[in-house]
Amino acid sequence: MFFADSRFIIDVLEGEPGALRQAEQLRWAGTPDLLPAPVAPEVLIGGSTRGRYLVKAEELIDGLETVSVDRESAREAALIGFQTR
């Protein structure tokens, strides 16, 4: 299971090599992509502020399963965020 955080999604949208590599590895491993509910507006706000990737952000978010966030989910998302920096 993979919980995407906003920084990871933004890095993927901006073509950051490390994030793209990790996204590809997760995809090959068959890991389901899960979007914590609070992350969706963060990514959309970033996309609309920067303007460059709003449509891509909407498309990416539409392709992820949105899930509610509990304490364990928040920790998992933070861990992934630290690993991609």
Average pLDDT over residues 64-73: 83
Q: How confident is the model at residue 49 (pLDDT cuts 50, 70, 90)?
A: low
Average pLDDT, the chain: 80
Place of tokens 């949208």: 13
Average pLDDT over residues 28-37: 75
* This prediction's pTM: 0.67
Average pLDDT over residues 25-47: 79
Residue type, 85: R
Position 18 scores a pLDDT of: 93
Position 2 scores a pLDDT of: 67
Domain boundaries defined on the chain? 2-83
